[in-house]
Amino acid sequence: MQDTIEKVKDTIVEETTSILDYKFVFSQEIGITVRGLIFVVVALIVTSYILQLIRRFITRKMPQNDKQKFVTVFGYVRWFVFLIIFLVTMNTSGVDVTAVFAASAALLIGVGLALQTLFQDIISGIFILVDQSVHVGDIIELEGKVGRVLDIRLRTTRAVTVDNKVLVIPNHLYLTNILFNWTENGSETRESVSVGVAYGTDVEKVKRILLDIAKNQPTVLKNPAPVVLFTDFADSSLNFKIVFTLNNSFEVRFTQSNIRFEIDKAFKQNNISIPFPQRDVHLFTQK
């Protein structure tokens, strides 16, 4: 009886060993045993658990906003660590990693070229999250487009325009273009409206009219107070600029439009003309 049990045990061990030593052969240089596959899977599971503990330890005292940014960046770092662990365990399990790379060299080159822009976007996204040059809620201008930032991700930034259209901005544009952050120094921004009047107009009167119009706008802040600049003696006009401060620069075009309406109305009431370019042509005839 005891001999039979021992034979059964030996048979089970031999079959188990045979199964574990079974080798999947993909080519003459590349192959892996079942034992090696199990080792790779276990290593990845253990790595995942360790990385999770590290993430929890690092973020336990972080503010919620910074925690979300760190988790996003850490997610990509985790995949990079998985790749390294996978290659190391595959090599330990007897797989010739060099042969794997050699066999897939052409494929890797093609994939690398195709993902070049993607990697640029991801790197740019990491820079944005780390240096905090742009925050959710900021008003930005990029390539002539203005929008309020809704969401910052590693590959793209989403912003909504004043027309309620969503801009999906690839993050690599931040590295290759000049970015204007209208609200980097706070929500208040200084805006202006320019206008020209005819030569001979009472400039002090123009100044008073422009100041009254700006001060009566509900969206224009009282402090700092609006100011009028006499900017130039142009060819056909005396040029002025009314400068004012807004708390919501996202709506600047509406305030500027209202001010222009009021300027046109006030100038007509006060007989102040807005000139247009003119040229005098003198004809000389030969006798």
pLDDT digits (tens, 9 = 90+) for 45-83: 888 888 888 878 777 766 666 666 667 667 767 777 777
130 pLDDT exceeds 80? no
Name the CATH code of domain 189-269 (choices 3.40.50.300, 1.10.8.50, 3.20.20.70, 3.30.70.100).
3.30.70.100
- Given this model, what pLDDT does residue 157 score? 86
Which pLDDT belongs to residue 141? Answer: 85
Residue ranges per structural domain of the chain:
8-103, 133-181, 189-269
Q: For 227, list phi and psi in degrees, rounded to 5.
A: -135, 155
**The one-letter amino acid at 278:** Q
The third-level CATH classification (topology) of the domain covering 133-181 is: SH3 type barrels. (2.30.30)
For the chain, the three-class secondary structure string (H helix, E strand, C coil) is CHHHHHHHHHHHHHHHHHHHCCEEECCCCCEEEHHHHHHHHHHHHHHHHHHHHHHHHHHCCCCHHHHHHHHHHHHHHHHHHHHHHHHHHHHHCCCCHHHHHHHCHHHHHHHHHHCHHHHHHHHHHHHHHHHCCCCCCCEEEECCEEEEEEEECCCEEEEECCCCCEEEEECCHHHHCCEEECCCCCCCEEEEEEEEECCCCCHHHHHHHHHHHHHCCCCECCCCCCEEEEEEECCCCEEEEEEEEECCHHHHHHHHHHHHHHHHHHHHHCCCCCCCCCCCCCCCCCC
Specify the amino acid at residue 149. Answer: V
**pLDDT, mean of residues 109-130:** 69
When the pLDDT of each residue in the chain is averaged and rounded to a whole number, the result is: 77
Q: What is the mean pLDDT of residues 20-43?
A: 64
pLDDT of residue 12: 54
pLDDT of amino acid 140: 86
- Tokens matching residue 21: 């030593």
- Mean pLDDT calculated for residue range 236-261: 89
pLDDT of res. 62: 64
Average pLDDT of the residues in 140-146: 84
Average pLDDT estimate for 240-260: 89
Q: What is the pLDDT of residues 197-246, one digit of tens each?
A: 999 899 999 999 999 999 999 989 988 899 999 999 988 899 999 999 98
